[in-house]
Structures are given as structure tokens and as C-alpha cells.
Structure 1
Amino acid sequence: MQTHTTAPDRGRPDDDPPLRIGIVGAGIMGQGNALAMSQQRGVEITAVTSATANHADALADEIAGRGRRRPVVHADLDQLLADQQVDAVVLTTPDDLHGPMMVAAARADKHILVEKPFTTSVAEADRAVAAIREAGVVAMCLFNHRWVPAYAQAKELSAGLGAPAVGYARKNDTLYVPTEMLSWAHRTTCAWFLSSHDIDLMSWLIDDQVIRVFATARTGKLQSLGIDTPDAIQIQAEYSRGAVATFESAWIYPNTFPTMVDSYVTLTCADGVIQLDRQTENVVVADPSGVRYPRNLLQRVVHGVPAGAYADAIAHFLRCCRTGEQPLISVESSRSVTAVLEAAHHSISTRQPVDIPHPTGRVR
């Protein structure tokens, strides 16, 4: 039996009351959040809910199995939001459910951590941002790539390379993701699910907003398997200060590909270029079944303690909840990612470029 130790949280006095967390959704991301949060000092997962009741019970049992108090399992989101033993919620539901859930959580005066994408429509994003700002709660979309060490280093290094000129980002998954990992792939697209990460990252590196997109999609493989969603999407984006970028997403790689995700980013500036290739992540394993590259930058467990960019992003959000500081990722910047993706899907349907209006002022 593996022993789990508690990661230090030096920003919290020992006599502060714990931050009480309610987890909404008990799938892979719900489990990942629970693992990371259950190892944080001064944090208690007090409630869980899921559309599938037995999954919520299993997650509650898993948390209790780590030596923590078993959280209460609620029948639905409304019941969890009415729980006075919940200070913050983690929303790990399918992409298209995030918006209304954030509005409800903000009106219930709960801090909010939401999995990407922020929402799947600008109208829902605007309602969520308005509710969050009116309530004064801390909220963050879990674009955890900003905590990948190489990406954070690229942000610092790019400042000395002159004006950003050309960006390229691809994030392609194997067939396993839309056919086995997700039961709701037909309710989203590879761009919502994958390129949302890259749009947030590239816009952060460039420090600018997309003002125009043209996008195309390829459909066929997944439809033949009974899943009504595109196989691949390409987005051409123009930024307000002249930089251009391409965002590629697909999820029909064969399952024999050595990694579940093929992720690559490059940024060319006036005086230099930065390339970020995450395929190997420094570990290669070969055995009779083949060659594989275990992923470790986002989620890993080191000596029983969750580590990596995912855990670091969650720890940042928790600290913001305690201190009231604004997260590195603002809800306004996450709303901008939604605007890019909504425009891209409109461009796919019209086969025309689409301009993106933005609220006044730059967003982080």
C-alpha cells in the first residue's frame, strides 16, 4: 500500500480554518483534482456530486481511503451549493455544462475552479464573468499549461526576442480519447477540448488578443464510429498587433502512437524563435509491447505526493482563495479563449473569416 504524505503549504498559518471543497463531477478530472487537493494542508474535500451517483460514491470512498474524512455525497449541484460546509467548488463536468454551473456557484458565494474550456459560448461566458465579478468570489479556469516549467520559462525568454510574429500549436490525441475516455465527445469538438489550452497559452506568450479567425474542419473517421464530431480542426488566428498563429487539433491518432497526446508549440519573434516539444518529457520506456513516453509534466506522483503543473495550478488557486488575490489566469482572459473558439466554429460553418469583438481593455 502506497503511503501518501502531505505537501507543504507555507502560506497558511496552522490555526486558519480549512478551505472546504466541493467537487462536481467524478470522472478522470474530478479524480485528478481530488488527488491534488487531498494532499494540500489546510484543505478538506467536504462534498462530492456527480451525474452518476455510483461514481460520486466511489470518489468519496477513494478520498476516505487516503486517511481523510469521507465527503458528503450530494444528489446534485443545487444540493452541494446549499451545503454550508463548502467554500469553493471544482467543476469537472463536460465542456458544455460549465457556464450555468459557474453562475449558480457564484450566486451561492462559492469560489470556483473550472476545467477548461471556460464555457462553450460567449453569451454563457459573459454571464459567468458578470456573476463572478458581482459576487466577488475567486474564480479560475484550469489552464494548467501556464505552470509547465518550460512554458513559464518561454514566457520570460520571449520578452527578449522582439515582437511576436508567428505562432504554431498542435495538440492531437489518440482515438482512445473520443472513443473510450470521454462518453460525451459528441457534445464537444477537438478544438474546444484541446486547442483551448493552446489558445490560452499562445495568447499569454504573445500578450495580445485574437481579433480574427478562419477555421476549417475534417469529418469522417469519428462519424463512421457513431460519434458526431470532427476528426480535426485547423484555426488560423490574427492578433491585434499583427502576430498570426495556427492552432491544430485532432483526435484520430492510432492508439499505437507512443503517447496519448502529441503536443508541440513554437513561437517565432522578430529576433528569435522558441520551440516547445512535450512528446518525450525525458522518459522513454521500451518493453515487449513497444516503446512509450510516459507523461509527467502535468500530472505525476513523486514519493506519494501529487506534483506537476496540474497540482501547481490547483495550489495557486487555493492560495488565491485564502488570500483574495486575483489568479494568474483571469476569467476575462478565459472568456477571450471562448470567443476565439466560438468564432472558429462559426467560421467552419460559414467558410468565411470571422472578426472577434472584445470588451475594451487588455485581459491577462
Structure 2
Amino acid sequence: MTKLKIGVIGCGSIATHRHLPEYAQNKEVEIVAVCDVVEKRAQAAATTFGGTAYTDYKQLLADSDADAVSVCLPNYLHAPVSIAALEAGKHVLCEKPMATSREEADQMIQAAEKAGKKLMIGHNQRFVASHQKAKELIANGELGRIYSFRTAFGHGGPEGWSVDGASSWFFKKDEAFIGALGDLGVHKADLIRYILGEEVKEVSAFVESNAKQNSNVDDNAVCLLRTESGIIGTLVASWAYVSAEDNSTVIYGEKGVLRLVDDPTYSLIAQYKDGSTVNYELGQIQSNDEGGQSNTGVIDHFVESILNNEVPLIDGKQGKRSLEVILAALESHQEKKNIQL
């Protein structure tokens, strides 16, 4: 059987820890090209995972026979490189946040539609087993009416994760555009939309840059969200959780409470109004620390969507809606008012 030929553009941490290993594990895939402006990174990736090493993504798009590419670059390059790849006839898996504006997101969606190619955004939280189970329980009415939620994603910051450490693009506004909100908050915006099965309609936020030196982007944000049916809750994104990562979500309903990734043993705990509790051992969420789940599910889903000609779970339109929540949070902080979506 002919394998799907894959190129990976950007060979930093997200590519070498997630995209490349997961492509390598997928039996339907052959890695044919890797690219990074730092030649030794591209060469190292090619040595480990195979494929031809490039330092110019335009050359990769023109010369390689890749069917699809992962775009693993600084945020400001997501839209232009994704659009170039789509126009070159490649399917695209783009890291989050998908773009730096609604306009860029729209251009990406339009490029995918015009090319007749898949565009998927790398929101891995939808593939976590406990999150999928929570969505199922809520959809089945197990919690009755949903009243409220709180969701958080915080860790010590990208300097412990990024290939460039404290000098990473993550801290530079002209390259990152947005800090913890774009790195972590957009994941939780996407997760809440997915689990509750409805859109966020109103956002208010406090956003600070108080935890990192040599940085000009946000590193702490607390957001208030209201959904279309009137569910209200908080979303927190932070690079200031210095001792341990928090990736938890709690959903409060009429008949009970769901605690997601809020316990070291049970990734989902359902506590019901009648006093009963159900503990689910569904595997832990992928973490930047060792010991997280080994496969995010993102790559496998992207490959399946291409091979089966199906719309990816997080296509461009879904990615844009999650981005809009974060853009609204920034706007709320700047304008000192609630923002309607």
C-alpha cells in the first residue's frame, strides 16, 4: 500500500516531541521532508526520523513530494506558511493558535476550501480520553443542566520546554503575538467548546505580564466566559505555576460535578448529588513532563481524515472559533469591557 508522504516544517520542541515521533509511529505514513531555518536542527531531525532536510519551507513545498505537512513554527508564521502549503496542494496540520487574527484564520480556511485540502489545527485536548468521556456524559444528560465550569492550564513557562529556552520566540510579541493565552488558554477555550457542545458568546478578562523577565507578552490571564445557553465559568492560562502543572477542568451540573485531570490516579471523577461517586481510570493527559500519555491522537486523526477523506474534528472553522475566544479576552483587557462574540 502507498504510504502518505509527510513533511514537517519547523523542527523545534513540538515537532521533535510530538509531531515527528507520532508520524514515525503511524504505519500509514512516510516522513519524506523536514525543514528548519537552523540547519543543524533540520539535519538532526532527518537523521532521527528520515526524509530530506531543508532550510527553506518554500523549497520543501516545491521540491518534496509530500502529500501533507505539519506547520510547527512561531505563531506569526502559522497563516502564511499554511496558506503557501495549501496553495501548493498539501494537506496542513497547523499548530495552535492557528493564526494571529480572525482575518488570517479566514484566509487559511478559504485557502483550504479553494485547494480542496484538509486543514486541521493541533488542539490535542479533544483526544484525551477523560475529556471525551465527559463530553459523552454531558450529552447523555448524566449531569442534567450544566450551570458552571472552571478550567485551567498553567505551568512554569515555555523556557523549560522550548528548544531555545529563555530566549525563545514565545516571549517575543512580534513572533508570538500572544503569550500564555495563545500557548495554553486557546487549548482550554477549544476544550470547553468541545465538552459543553456549545459556543462561547461573551468574554471578560484580566491579563497580566508579571511573571517573566525579558518578555513582552501576557503570562497570566483569568477569563470569564458565558456560553450561548448561559453557562458561566472561568478559564485561566498561566506561565507562573512554578511547582507543578495544572491542566484541570471541573464541570458543575444539576445532578453532579465532573472533575477532569484533577486527581493523580483518576483522570475523571463524577460526584453525584445523591452522594455516589464514580472514578474513571482513563489514562493521564499528555504533559510536558515525562510520564504523560505517549500519543496525543492528533497525528493519527489527521492522517485518518486524509486517508478517509473526512473533515477533521478540529478543522479551520473550529480552530477559528477557539482563537476568537482568546482574541476576545485580549480585547476585553485592552478595552476594559465585556466582549460579545
Query: Which band: TM-score by shorter chain?
Result: 0.7 to 0.9
What pairs up with 1:34-73 in 2 under 5 angstroms?
A: 34-63=20-49, 70-73=50-53
The answer to whether the Cα contact below 8 Å between 1:121 and 1:342 also exists between their aligned partners in 2 is yes
C-alpha spacing 1:59/1:170, structure 2 compared with 1 (3 Å): same
The answer to whether the Cα contact below 8 Å between 1:297 and 1:308 also exists between their aligned partners in 2 is no
- For residue 261 of structure 2, the aligned residue among 264, 277, 288 is 277
The answer to whether the Cα contact below 8 Å between 1:177 and 1:251 also exists between their aligned partners in 2 is no
TM-score normalised per structure 2: 0.85
**Correspondence 1:170 to 2:152:** yes
The answer to whether the Cα contact below 8 Å between 2:146 and 2:251 also exists between their aligned partners in 1 is yes
AA aligned opposite 1:210: V
The answer to whether the Cα contact below 8 Å between 2:130 and 2:261 also exists between their aligned partners in 1 is no
Deviations 1:232-255 (A, max 9, x none): 00111111121122110111222x
Task: Name the CA distance, whole Å, in 2 between partners of 1:281 and 1:54.
Answer: 40
Deviations 1:17-67 (A, max 9, x none): 11000001101111121111112113111001112121111111111xxxx
- For residue 77 of structure 1, the aligned residue among 54, 57, 60 is 57
The offset of 1:328, in angstroms, is 1.7
SS of the aligned residue for 2:330 comes to helix
Task: Name the CA distance, whole Å, in 2 between partners of 1:243 and 1:309.
Answer: 32
TM-score normalised per structure 1: 0.80
The answer to whether the Cα contact below 8 Å between 1:22 and 1:89 also exists between their aligned partners in 2 is yes
- Structure 2 partner of 1:4: none
C-alpha spacing 1:158/1:337, structure 2 compared with 1 (3 Å): same
The answer to whether the Cα contact below 8 Å between 2:154 and 2:247 also exists between their aligned partners in 1 is yes
SS of the aligned residue for 1:131 comes to helix
C-alpha spacing 1:299/1:237, structure 2 compared with 1 (3 Å): closer
Task: Name the CA distance, whole Å, in 2 between partners of 1:316 and 1:191.
Answer: 25
- For residue 9 of structure 2, the aligned residue among 21, 24, 30 is 24
Deviations 1:316-342 (A, max 9, x none): 110111111111222211100111111
C-alpha spacing 1:218/1:50, structure 2 compared with 1 (3 Å): same
What pairs up with 1:80-229 in 2 under 5 angstroms?
A: 80-159=60-139, 160=141, 161-175=143-157, 176-177=159-160, 180=165, 183-186=168-171, 187=176, 188-222=178-212, 225-229=213-217
Moved more, 23-32 or 321-330: 321-330
The answer to whether the Cα contact below 8 Å between 1:140 and 1:331 also exists between their aligned partners in 2 is yes
CA root-mean-square deviation = 2.3
- Structure 1 partner of 2:224: 236
SS of the aligned residue for 2:73 comes to coil
C-alpha spacing 1:271/1:182, structure 2 compared with 1 (3 Å): farther
AA aligned opposite 1:214: S
Unaligned runs of at least 5 residues, structure 1: 1-14, 64-69, 284-294, 301-305, 357-364
Task: Name the CA distance, whole Å, in 1 between partners of 2:144 and 2:265.
Answer: 28
Aligned positions, number: 313
Unaligned runs of at least 5 residues, structure 2: 268-282
The answer to whether the Cα contact below 8 Å between 1:120 and 1:192 also exists between their aligned partners in 2 is no
- In percent, how many aligned pairs have the same letter? 27
Deviations 1:282-325 (A, max 9, x none): 79xxxxxxxxxxx963279xxxxx96451x22111101111111
Task: Name the CA distance, whole Å, in 2 between partners of 1:355 and 1:136.
Answer: 32
The answer to whether the Cα contact below 8 Å between 1:267 and 1:275 also exists between their aligned partners in 2 is yes
Task: Name the CA distance, whole Å, in 2 between partners of 1:146 and 1:269.
Answer: 21
Moved more, 156-165 or 273-282: 273-282
Task: Name the CA distance, whole Å, in 2 between partners of 1:137 and 1:281.
Answer: 41
The offset of 1:279, in angstroms, is 6.2
Task: Name the CA distance, whole Å, in 1 between partners of 2:42 and 2:284.
Answer: 27
